[in-house]
Amino acid sequence: MKATATAHPNIALVKYWGKRDEALILPHQSSLSVTLAPLSVTTTVEWGIGRDEVSINGEPARGSELDRVVAMLRLVRSQPARVVSHGNFPKAAGLASSAAGFAALAVAARAAAGLPRDVRAESTLARQGSGSACRSIQGGVCIWHRGTATDGVDSYATQELKADHWPELRLLVAMVSREEKEVKSRDGMRSAVETSPYYEAWTRDAEEEVPRALAALYAKDLKAIGEIAEKNAWRMHATSLAADPPLCYLKPQTLEVIAALQGLRRDGVPAYFTLDAGPNPVVLTDAKHEAAVEAALVKLGASSVVRCVPGGDATVTFE
Ligand code: 2P0
């Protein structure tokens, strides 16, 4: 009745930004992401105790965080559980800790209930905790298919390329701000759906962009995937900049980093950004140029740079 699972966070290169069903977490668009190692969250679930107890990084979970964890547990079993979760990176860093957290929770909750590994079922369950978590069940490059069914049965992620497909790919997280963001992704995307005049154009573009991004990754074409990632990040943020009230996740230093990448490229260093719903750019480059890009990011004022490579599948580490 007890199991432990570990999952990596992921960064979307073609982003999810908006739900067509808030309760089931069904997206308006498909998305594509890469998992980030060595970052990970490890979660233990133990069924059959007196009442639900949830601890995250040594602190008891409260409020909406607790409610979301308990809601996912109830999708697996109608009895209470103890959940203990630890990440090896700070939650406030804006590094999609909820994606790794809900992916590890989904895998551990099912394993502790005696259910066999089933990546589709795990991805579908993880999606209902946090949308992007469905892309952290398997490693490498995953696509979350938006699906069309009203009950969400066809809205889950599939692995398209394994973590070792492109071992030279590097993803550098440039920490330019550690402030907790004022508007959570969930609220930011809702306001974009409801008020942004650009929303319809944004969703239309995604379905065509996903296969183009996959082809660029398959070909290990850094320029092609970099240009897609940058265009997609700009468009996601533009959608929210045009919302009412407008929502800007970027800080002055975010723009400084972005502008400097153009200079690096002119000097022959391949470096392209993407952004989550936050100010810290994630820079795509290759192993050969990793040190030069890291040095440039530090010089631009990044307080730290987290170096990542594509990560592997979520694993059950203890049963
Ligand atoms: C993504 N983000 O595709 C996009 C890009 C942030 C920017 O998915 O409401 O925590 O739990 O489904 O998955 C972050 O939002 O939101 C996110 P919910 P989630 O990675």
- Ligand 1 centroid–CA 168 distance in Å is 26
pTM: 0.97
Point out which residues pair with 308 in neighbouring strands.
Answer: 171
Higher-pLDDT residue of 279, 95: 279
Residue 288 alpha carbon to ligand 1 centre in Å: 31
Residue 278: CB within 6 Å of ligand 1? no
Residue 48 shares a structural domain with residue 155: yes
pLDDT digits (tens, 9 = 90+) for 211-243: 999 999 999 999 999 999 999 999 999 999 999
The predicted pLDDT at position 89 comes to: 84
Residue 135 Cβ < 6 Å to ligand 1: no
Q: Judge if 120 and 268 occupy the same domain.
A: no
Single out the residue in 126, 161, 196 at which a domain terminates: 161
Closest to 27 measured CA to CA, from 99, 131, 101, 130: 131
Residue 315 is assigned to a structural domain of this protein: no
Distances (CA, A) of 67 to 44, 54, 71, 107, 129: 17, 10, 6, 18, 10
Domain shared by 12 and 57, yes or no: yes
Question: Are residue 200 and residue 137 in the same domain, yes or no?
Answer: no
For residue 216, give the CATH number of its domain.
3.30.70.890
Q: Ligand 1, closest atom to CA 16? A: 3
Q: Is residue 130 part of a domain?
A: yes
* 21 and 122 housed in the same domain: yes
Last-in-domain residue among 161, 180, 196: 161
Is 294 a member of any domain?
yes
Question: pLDDT (tens digit, 9 = 90+) per residue, 43-94?
Answer: 999 999 999 999 999 999 999 999 999 999 999 999 999 999 999 987 655 6
Last residue of a domain, one of 137, 161, 185: 161
Answer yes or no: is 99 within a domain.
yes
Q: Is 16 in the pocket of ligand 1 (CB under 6 A)?
A: yes
Percent of the chain with pLDDT over 70: 98
Find out whether the beta carbon of 186 lies less than 6 Å from any atom of ligand 1: yes
For residues 87 and 191, membership in a common domain is answered with no
- Give the distance (Å) from ligand 1 centre to CA of residue 4: 24
Q: What is the pLDDT of residue 179?
A: 81
Q: Are residues 94 and 201 in the same domain?
A: no
| Atom 12 of ligand 1, residue of closest alpha carbon | 131
Enumerate residues 6+ apart whose C-beta is below 8 A from 277. 17, 94, 181, 185, 188, 189, 249
Same domain, 8 and 157: yes
| Same domain as 125, residue 40 | yes
Where in the sequence is the domain holding 210, given as residue range(s)? Answer: 169-310
- Average pLDDT of the chain is 96
**Do residues 148 and 285 share a domain?**
no
Count the domains in the chain.
Answer: 2
Specify whether 7 is located in the same domain as 144. Answer: yes
- Residue 46: give its domain's CATH number: 3.30.230.10
173 and 139 belong to one structural domain? no
In a domain, 223, yes or no: yes
> How many Å lie between the centroid of ligand 1 and the Cα of residue 189?
8
Output the CA 184–ligand 1 centroid distance in Å.
Answer: 9
pLDDT of residue 269: 98
Q: Quick: pLDDT tens for 126-156.
A: 999 999 999 999 999 999 999 999 999 999 9
